Chain A
């Protein structure tokens, strides 16, 4: 009976996920019609740009930073540590990558590349460290500190890109293009799929799944998330655990920034994150949508990556304003999060109506 029971819950969850997404698209129809566009055509382009076979590689590319960031966030969220600072950690990762790539442009690439990738992650981790220490030792609310650190990071990067590291010949605040020898190697010819994509989906996801589920580290995060006092009672070194989790979270965000620079942009730009859906913030929704489970997060980041790309296509082909695309994205996120709540109620109702005794 246990199995059918669990299956029933899964069914409810799946049905609900699909119907919420449906609902979001329905709301989108109203909005698109209200600005006098044809919603059918708009959605056609949305899907073309997101999930049609030729669009898949670009969707994977878009999903990669989301995936790395949200797996890091899942790590801290499990312990109910609310790191809102992935955006800043992502930018720091991107910036140190660009700087280091410029400094190491003549070093042997096979040596320099891994070093740069590692330092990108460390940069993100370092950026997460002060809020982590403040939280772990003085109990200072991490939501505020990490959020503030985003502004510091982004304005700092902005300063560097306008000043010391600005490419003198470019019209935009950005660094010079880095040495192509240091670019992240392409893994599928004819696409922009680089090693970072492969690393994220094929290495980080299973590794994270394993670590969060099968190790004492993952379990300790769960205990801390369940009750902080209990964690102390369970002989868990909470200070260390909080700092470790935040460092991992920052490392993955920094790594995402590094690969975005090495694999896609090939320089540091002010718009390393798409302004309508910044990776660091969208990653929060991706992690929550994926129930903090790395396997599901791989799916949700693919889905949201697709929506981001598709909405750009929709903008280009059907002249739907980019802002409108942002609204639809936000609607999907809001509806799906709302379904968390509904799910609980529905599941309970269903169980009760079954009269299982």
Chain B
């Protein structure tokens, strides 16, 4: 029995981009269906059509065999289809409870009933949410759970997830995938958009691969012989190699010194509890840890976006030529780009004080800006109709490519890279890792915060493990192995409840 079916869906965006062309897609009841494809392949677009966020240019949608037309996401929700977006859509300043309440517009509202339902759901699914906490104070993982709750409260039976794990790390990913599995056993039908083939192989029953707006194949999991076959379908090439990490040993010249740093989060809770380290010229210092253990606050403090409570951050501008600290933030839409402005402007977003683009302190040099934007676009292979296109019209991965390209190509002394490859397809991710490695060889100090342990192991010269706001261990490259790192990550007390939760979802 099919939960939903899309037939001959074509979507042309204003501006003439064909994001989907005659796409057929079906979703069986109670299955987990993975949707794979490169950046810009049209995955998000297709699922936005199924969830009523976009109207197809042509084609048909069937839900439980019945032909439907959606005018809005709430139409689709009424038919039981809900989507958790790539960029989460909760209202940050409102509390969890208010956000849940907002998901229920148009229904008769009964607070007591809602509270019991929330309680039931979080018990059966095995997670806790703090209903009175404002959303901005939650970690990405927590926000995700709130989004899921919101859909379940609205009686959605078909759940669509757009790259849900791209911002999560090891244990949280496992926990999330377990949750997906248990939802599917309970009869929910699930679409999982992802770039991680292993993940797709792990949880899904079927896999659909998209390329350039078309479906190339839909396979049962058993039909997939090995992972590189899927990669071939996605990009028409073999798996990308790991970055050869053969840099000369780095110097001991500290570019960035952090001493006894204490930082609070927005709620005033202490998240960074006395962190000290040095970042040397020419090294990649990886920061590994379960998301929510203070990485976000640490990085924001170093980048100057958050005032520390205590401690020192010393950034020595040794190189007068650049003297910059570049920063690839994990929050793309809210922080990394100005969504309504063009690709060109976003390519020089942090350089409005730079003589190269702004002459005599105030006059824009558009030709230089465009020139640089062109470099970013070609370096990262960004798919955009033009340099004038507002970035909000690009796919999630292409937005990410602009941010990463900009920060990598802008000369700097120190680069903070937070989740640099999240949401990128395998080829682009390889490109970024290679570029980071090359920058380090040229003497840039790189602080790499990533939830992808493989990435950290591949690139780092040293690995700092952060747990509950403290750096519990710094490994040299030679002595690092995943099991050890994992055990240090879980050592802090912050992890206690996560471990329990993982158990209870199984």
Chain A residues packing against B (C-beta within 8 Å)? 1-2, 5, 214-217, 219-220, 222-223, 225-227, 229-236, 347-348, 351-352, 354-357
Judge whether B363 and A226 touch: CB under 8 Å.
no
Chain A interface: which of B15-23, B100-108, B222-230, B457-465?
Answer: B15-23
B329 touches A223 (CB 8 A): no
Whether A229 touches B334, Cβ cut-off 8 Å, given contacts A2-B386, A347-B14, A352-B57, is: yes
Give the complex CA separation of A355 and B334 in angstroms. Answer: 33
* Complexed CA–CA distance, A352 and B339 (Å): 23
Q: B269: CB under 8 A from chain A?
A: no
Which stretch (B159-167, B344-352, B469-477) binds chain A?
B344-352
Known: A1-B16, A222-B338, A226-B339. A233 touches B363 (CB 8 A): no
One of B12, B331, B336 near A355 (C-beta < 8 A): B12
**Interface size (B, Cβ < 8 Å)?**
34
CA distance A229 to B336 in the complex (A): 9
Within 331-365 of B, Cβ neighbours of A (below 8 Å) are at 331, 333-341, 345, 349-350, 352-353, 358, 361-364
Q: Is the CB of B338 within 8 A of A226?
A: yes
For the complex, give the distance between the alpha carbons of A354 and B13 in Å: 11
Residue of A whose beta carbon sits closest to that of B385? A2
Q: B12 and A357: CB pair below 8 A? A: yes
Contact, CB under 8 Å: B21 / A357: yes
Inter-chain contacts of A351 with B (CB < 8 A): 12-16
Is A357 a contact of B16 with CB atoms below 8 Å?
Answer: yes
User: Which A residues lie within 8 Å of B176 (CB)?
Assistant: none
- Across the interface, A233 reaches (CB within 8 A) one of B21, B57, B335, B353, namely B335
Q: Does B327 contact A (CB under 8 A)?
A: yes
Which residues on the B side are within 8 Å of A230 (C-beta)?
Answer: 334-338, 349
A216 touches B329 (CB 8 A): no
User: Does B16 lie within 8 Å of A354, measured CB to CB?
Assistant: yes
Cross-chain contact of B352 among A229, A232, A235, A356 (Cβ < 8 A) = A235
B305 interface contact, C-beta 8 A? yes
Contact of A356 among B12, B338, B339 (CB under 8 A): B12
Q: Name the A residues within 8 Å of B14 (CB-CB).
A: 347-348, 351-352
Chain B residues with Cβ under 8 A from A354's Cβ?
16
> B305 touching A233 by the CB < 8 A rule?
yes
B341 touching A223, Cβ below 8 Å? yes
Per the bound structure, the CA–CA distance linking A226 and B392 in Å amounts to 11
A229 touches B335 (CB 8 A): yes
Evaluate contact between A5 and B16: CB separation under 8 angstroms: yes
> With the chains together, A214 CA to B331 CA distance in Å?
29
Question: A227 to B358, alpha carbons, bound, how many Å?
Answer: 21
Q: How far is the CA of A231 from the CA of B352 in the complex (A)?
A: 11
Residues in B neighbouring A214, C-beta threshold 8 A: 363-364, 366
Decide if A215 touches B16 in the complex (CB within 8 Å). Answer: no
A215 to chain B, nearest CB (A): 5
* 10 extra interface residue pairs, beta carbon distance < 8 Å, beyond A216-B361, A222-B340: A214-B366, A226-B339, A226-B340, A227-B339, A230-B335, A233-B336, A351-B12, A351-B13, A352-B57, A357-B12
- Encode B1-38 as 1/0 by CB contact (under 8 A) with A: 00000000000111110100100000000000000000
CB distance from A224 to the nearest CB of B (A): 9
CA A227 to CA B327, docked complex, whole Å: 17
Q: Nearest-CB distance from B138 to chain A (Å)?
A: 16
- Give the residues in chain A near B363, CB-CB below 8 Å: 214-216
How far is the CB of A169 from the nearest CB of chain B, in Å? 51
Cβ contact within 8 Å between A227 and B352: no
Residues of A within 8 A of B57 (CB): 352, 355
Q: 19 A-B pairs, CB-CB below 8 angstroms?
A: A1-B16, A214-B366, A215-B363, A215-B364, A216-B352, A217-B362, A220-B352, A222-B338, A223-B341, A227-B333, A227-B334, A229-B331, A229-B334, A229-B335, A231-B338, A233-B335, A351-B13, A351-B15, A357-B16
One of A2, A216, A226 near B341 (C-beta < 8 A): A226
Do the beta carbons of A216 and B16 come within 8 Å of each other?
no
Chain B residues with CB below 8 A from A220, complex form: 352
Q: How far apart are the CA atoms of A216 and B15 in the complex, in Å?
A: 28
Q: Which of A231, A236, A347, A356 has the most CB atoms of chain B within a 10 A radius of its CB? A: A356
* A227 & B350 in contact (Cβ 8 Å cutoff): no
Distance from A16 Cβ to chain B, minimum over Cβ atoms (Å): 15
CB distance from A238 to the nearest CB of B (A): 12
Set of chain B residues within 8 Å of A233, measured between Cβ atoms: 303, 305, 327, 329, 335-336, 349-350
Does the CB pair A223–B338 fall under 8 Å? yes
CA gap between A217 and B386 in the complex, in Å: 24
The reply to whether A357 and B353 contact each other, CB–CB distance below 8 Å, is no
When distances are taken between beta carbons in the complex, the residues of chain B under 8 Å from A226 are 338-341
User: Measured between C-beta atoms, what is the minimum distance from A352 to chain B in Å?
Assistant: 5
Q: What residues on B are CB-neighbors of A355 within 8 Å? A: 12, 57
Which A residues touch B364, using CB under 8 A? 214-216, 219
| Shortest beta-carbon distance from A285 to chain B in Å | 22
Which residue of chain A lies nearest to B12 when distances are taken between CB atoms in the complex? A352
Q: A357 and B335 in contact (CB under 8 A), knowing A233-B305, A234-B352, A235-B350?
A: no
> What is the CA–CA distance of A75 and B415 in the complex, to the nearest angstrom?
34
Given A227-B338, A233-B335, A356-B16 in contact, is the A222-B345 Cβ separation under 8 Å?
yes
Residues of chain A within 8 A of B361, CB atoms compared: 216
Q: How far apart are A209's CB and chain B's nearest CB, in angstroms?
A: 14
Residue of B nearest to A227 (CB): B338
Contact among A217, A222, A232, A352 for B305, CB-based, below 8 A: A232
Output the least CB separation between A236 and chain B (Å): 7
Task: Please report the C-alpha to C-alpha distance between residue A227 and residue B391 in the assembled complex, in whole angstroms.
Answer: 13
